[in-house]
Structure 1
Amino acid sequence: MDFSALALSQPLLQVLEELDFKVVTPIQAQSIPVLLQGRDLIGQARTGSGKTAAFALPILEKLQLQQRRLQALVLCPTRELCAQVAGEFRRLGRRLPGLQILVLAGGQPVRPQVNALEKGAHVAVGTPGRILDLLQREALDTSRLATVVLDEADRMLDMGFREDMERILGATPLIRQTVLFSATFPPTIEAMSRAFQKEPTRVTVVEAEAASDIQQLCYACAPEAKTEILLRVLRHHQPNSAIVFCNLKATVVELTRALAAAGVSADGLQGDLEQSERDRVMAKFRNHSTRILIATDVAGRGIDVEALDAVINFDLPSQPEPYVHRIGRTGRAGRRGLALSLVTLADERKVVDIEDATGVTLERASVDALPPADPKGGVSLKAAWETLCISAGRKDKMRPGDILGALTGEAGGLSAAHIGKIEIQDHLAYVAVSKDLVRVALQRLREGRIKGRKHRIDWVR
């Protein structure tokens, strides 16, 4: 199906054409017509299936832009996912005059969010805890909400947000459109749908199909040898960008320390990190200053990184669905993906369950063919980039071109080839610079100006 076949207005169709959105994904084809009709929907789809556009486009289509009041609310489990979803709304709605999208998430001061709400917005994307806080402060007016979306609903339940979600939904109008997206369908999701939705349309994108373009290998190993085997697997496959999944926060901490000691460019993401530290870790991973990200399922939820070479299961999850959700992050945009799993004797039952659920047989790879864990004379797993942080962001009118210009202009003197991804957040910006030129870039940014102003510049270690 082509997007022009959907009942979308010309500004949205023009943006889709500009962004080179040609073919409607299965979740979009099944969801958008239902949501444009104002009906409730419960959808099952993995990360990377296009589900954000599936609910964002109908919301944008129905907004009354001349009325600067909250008309749609999207709940997400993490601040990272909130930022991604809000970014997609802004990208798809860039030809809608006056469109205002707010991120209302924890880990940030609440006062600027209250001030932004007072000025008015059309769509809010937030975490349950912060949304509930704003409701209790009577800073968030939900009386005219037309649509509420629960994105990654199963993960919000896993994180203990059930009561918050129910209280938020209870504070919205009885007559509303309720949209629920979830990667899995445990009984708690079914119960929430029955309680808060009215005759929802059920849309499911078969998960087994999601894994069809991903090479899935497993390496048999003893539990005590897993870290060594992981190092050997990394040196053999040499991913520039990979996520390693663990089942426990303690494992993330231990493994991050072990890989760093072995000379691997690695960082960890787990639930005990402060929000500023999570932002730092994710910025470095997205711009390839960190090659290997080690994460738990909960901490890793909402991570959406372009060109992910591999997903590695250091620990296999207890059920097939999280496995499929994990590996769905690799092999996108027509590229063949790679999923690697370390399997102990105790994991054999899990492997059988995964194969039965997906209809795909995991290929048994030989540990004997792997190089030694010791890097001497072998492949380096260090990153080619370093990250600089600039103390100004989107709210300060900072743009990627401003930073690129400061680095490559007369004062900076660097070549554009030595500048990597530039990421603009609300009040910070991150720029990747070639490792061998990072000290030069740091000095020149500190000595110079960006848009005529001095800013604090930090080297993000």
Structure 2
Amino acid sequence: MNTTNSFSALNLKPELLTVVEELGFSSMTPIQEKSIPVLLAGKDVIGQSKTGSGKTAAFLLPILQQLEINQKTLQALIICPTRELAIQVLAEVRKLGRGLPGLQTIALTGGGQTGREQQLELEKGVQIAVGTPGRILDLASKERLFLDDVKTVVLDEADKMFDMGFIVEIKNLMRELPVNRQTVLFSATFTDAVLDLSKRYQKNPQKVSIEEGAEALQIEEVTYDSEEKDKAGNLMRVLQQHQAESCIVFCNTKNTVNDLMTKFAELKASATCLHGDLEQKDRERVMALFKNGSAKILVATDVAARGLDIENLELVVNYDFPLQPETYVHRVGRTGRAGKSGVAVTLLSARDTLKLIEIENITGRKFQKPNLGFKNQFGLNWEWKQAPMQTLMISGGRKNKIRPGDILGALTGASGGLQAGDIGKIEMYDTYTYVAIRTDQANHALNSLRNGKIKAQKFQVKIVK
């Protein structure tokens, strides 16, 4: 059916519409409905939209639509405040653009590839780059990144760029870009600094702002009274009473994360953790495990959880009360995304009551305050112990010239013998790949990959925890 908020009503390439349909996007979110037609018309946009609104697809689909796929030069530059957000956006580019043969993309951030490795990738011909201001400016100033053919530049989460002190880098970068370009700016809030940035670098921008009611998060917000000595036990009671496919438990410190992980290990819970001391490779492993269903509980600090995008997250627990109201909004925004419902539980001590009232005043929403039920004598429910998927790590990735389809073929072919439904997310990096396999088929998949080949190549394979 061709309704006004249907993607099929847009004049998109058939390859893009096919992917949108495969991803199950039946209709546009409010931010997409308001901004995509404007962006397709080539106009500048300054958009205000909260987490989980679908704004990434709102600016990516027009970029992919307007891309000259046969032109092997940089045509779109997406600037993000953090490496984590850049990696997340790049994953969306690859997901939405998977039907476009010849699409070449790159992440320009620190902490992953070296500048030299990124330069070699750029020399092969890249059409879309996603990165952080410092690394992009460094490559451009050393003439390793050429911006002459950029048609669209996107500043994503512009307010966070100011908070993180990137204004000098942004100004220097904008000077390097062509005058005739489309400039897109998205921000959670329209601060004076953001509006000044728009005035300085945009041409007659269309202002797109979603009313709170149109994009209200579908979140049930609950608090349970809990003094410090009872918190660990009360957390287990919360998990007993709020069943979900997955859950993030937020803590204020790394030490608390580690304490809870010890408790979950004793209860044999399917849990993993994320904090600021993890190396990038370990972070990627943890996120692969959680996102693909191999770990049902993620215990995390706020710094580590920046930029997380988890599909269908049903439950968030504030084990520690957030230090700032903005932190609360960021935490609970992990659930109830893109029109889906979610539950946010906060364990509340008496000293946090005034902070709770402050959050209610800021959000305009009232918390439910039921009594916490009795503890199940058997500890955690079985559902929190049994993960539906296991994760295999393959010692090959993009640099080995293999693609997700090659891995899928090896697993479902004559030697693998798996059904497509046995295989979950495939997360591919430069030199290794994570593959989710249904738990009851994981050992079979492990043996078939160890004994077989992927695209005529032999790789090491192991189950990761």
TM-score, structure 1 as length reference: 0.87
Shifted more, 261-270 versus 142-151: the winner is 261-270
Runs (5+) with no aligned partner, structure 2: none
* Deviations 1:89-109 (CA, angstroms, capped at 9, x unpaired): 334344545332222233322
Tell me, yes or no, if structure 1 residue 392 matches structure 2 residue 391.
Answer: no
Q: Do the aligned partners of 1:210 and 1:328 also contact (CA within 8 Å) in 2?
A: no
> How many matched pairs?
459
Which structure 1 residue ranges, 5 or more long, are not aligned? none
The equivalent of 1:43 in structure 2 is 47
1:253: Cα distance to partner? 4.1
Which residue of 2 is the match for residue 76 of structure 1? Answer: 80
Note if 1:29 corresponds to 2:55: no
Amino acid at match of 1:304: D
Deviation string for 1:165-209 (max 9, x for gaps)? 343334323443322222244554345444444453332223465
- Aligned to 1:130, the other structure's residue is in SS state helix
Letter in 1 for 2:309: D
Give 1:232's aligned residue: 237
User: Which SS does the other structure have where 2:37 is aligned?
Assistant: helix
Secondary structure in structure 1 of the residue aligned to 2:435: strand
How do residues 121-160 of structure 1 correspond to structure 2 at under 5 angstroms?
121-160=126-165
Please give the alpha-carbon distance, in whole angstroms, between the structure 1 residues aligned to 2:371 and 2:345.
12
Residue 59 of structure 2 corresponds to residue 55 of structure 1: yes
CA gap of 1:283–1:18, structure 2 versus 1, over 3 A, is closer
Would you say the 8 A contact 1:7–1:33 is kept in 2? no
Structure 1: distance between partners of 2:117 and 2:20: 32
Counterpart residue type for residue 354 of structure 1 = I
What do residues 373-422 of structure 1 show as CA deviations (whole Å, max 9, x unaligned)?
x7558546224232210012244343445434544555445666654433
Stretch moving more, 197-206 or 358-367: 197-206
Match of 1:119 in 2: 124
Distance (Å, rounded) in 1 between the aligned partners of 2:380 and 2:67: 60
Check conservation: 1:244, 1:312, Cα contact below 8 A.
yes
- Whole-Å Cα distance in 1 between the matches of residues 258 and 343 of structure 2? 24
Deviation at 1:261, TM superposition (A): 4.1
How many Å separate the matches in 2 of 1:361 and 1:331? 16
The counterpart of 1:349, out of the listed 335, 346, 354, is 354
1:293 aligned residue = 298
- 1:164: Cα distance to partner? 3.4
Distance 2:159 2:253 in 1: 18
Taking the aligned partners of 2:431 and 2:293, their CA distance within structure 1 comes to 21
Partner of 1:218: 223
Deviation, structure 1 residue 73 = 0.5
Partner of 1:448: 452
- Report whether the alignment pairs 1:458 with 2:462: yes
What is the RMSD of the two structures over their aligned residues, measured on CA atoms?
A: 3.1
Q: 1: CA distance between counterparts of 2:258 and 2:380?
A: 28
Q: Partner of 1:104 in structure 2? A: 108
Residue 70 of structure 1: CA displacement? 1.2
Q: Which residue of 1 aligns with 2:384?
A: 381
Residue aligned with 2:64, SS: helix
Mapping of residues 299-448 of structure 1, within 5 Å: 299-318=304-323, 320-332=325-337, 335-367=340-372, 369-371=373-375, 375-376=378-379, 379=382, 381-384=384-387, 385-407=389-411, 409=413, 411-412=415-416, 419-435=423-439, 438-448=442-452
Percent identity of paired positions between Structure 1 and Structure 2? 51
> Over residues 35-88 of structure 1, what are the superposed CA-to-partner deviations in whole Å (9 max), with x where a residue is unaligned?
234333222222321111211122223333443221210012344433332333
Residue identity in the other structure for 1:240: E
Partner in structure 2 of residue 269 of structure 1:
274
Letter in 1 for 2:302: D
Give, in angstroms, the shift of residue 249 of structure 1: 4.4
- CA, structure 1 residues 406+217, in 2 after alignment: closer, same or farther (shift >3 Å)? same
Rounded Cα–Cα distance in structure 2 between residues aligned with 1:256 and 1:168: 43
Q: Greater CA deviation, 240-249 or 186-195?
A: 186-195
Provide closer, same or farther for how the CA distance between residues 405 and 145 of structure 1 changes in structure 2, counting only shifts above 3 A: closer
Q: Contact 1:31 / 1:54 at 8 angstroms: preserved in 2?
A: yes
Q: One-letter code of the match for 2:123?
A: E
- Superposed displacement of residue 310, structure 1: 0.9
2:336/2:342 contact within 8 Å kept: yes
Structure 1 residues 229-270: Cα deviation after superposition (integer angstroms, max 9, x where no partner): 222212322333111223444544444444334433222223
**Whole-angstrom CA distance in 2 between matches of 1:185 and 1:251:** 35
1:179 correspondence with 2:184? yes
SS in 2 for 1:245: strand
Write the distance in 2 (CA, Å) between the matches of 1:362 and 1:333: 21
Letter in 1 for 2:433: A
Task: Say whether the 8 Å CA contact 1:47–1:304 is kept in structure 2.
Answer: no
User: C-alpha separation between the residues in 1 aligned to 2:107 and 2:100?
Assistant: 18
Write the distance in 1 (CA, Å) between the matches of 2:283 and 2:52: 21
Distance 1:34 1:315, change over 3 A: farther
Helix, strand or coil: the match of 1:365?
coil
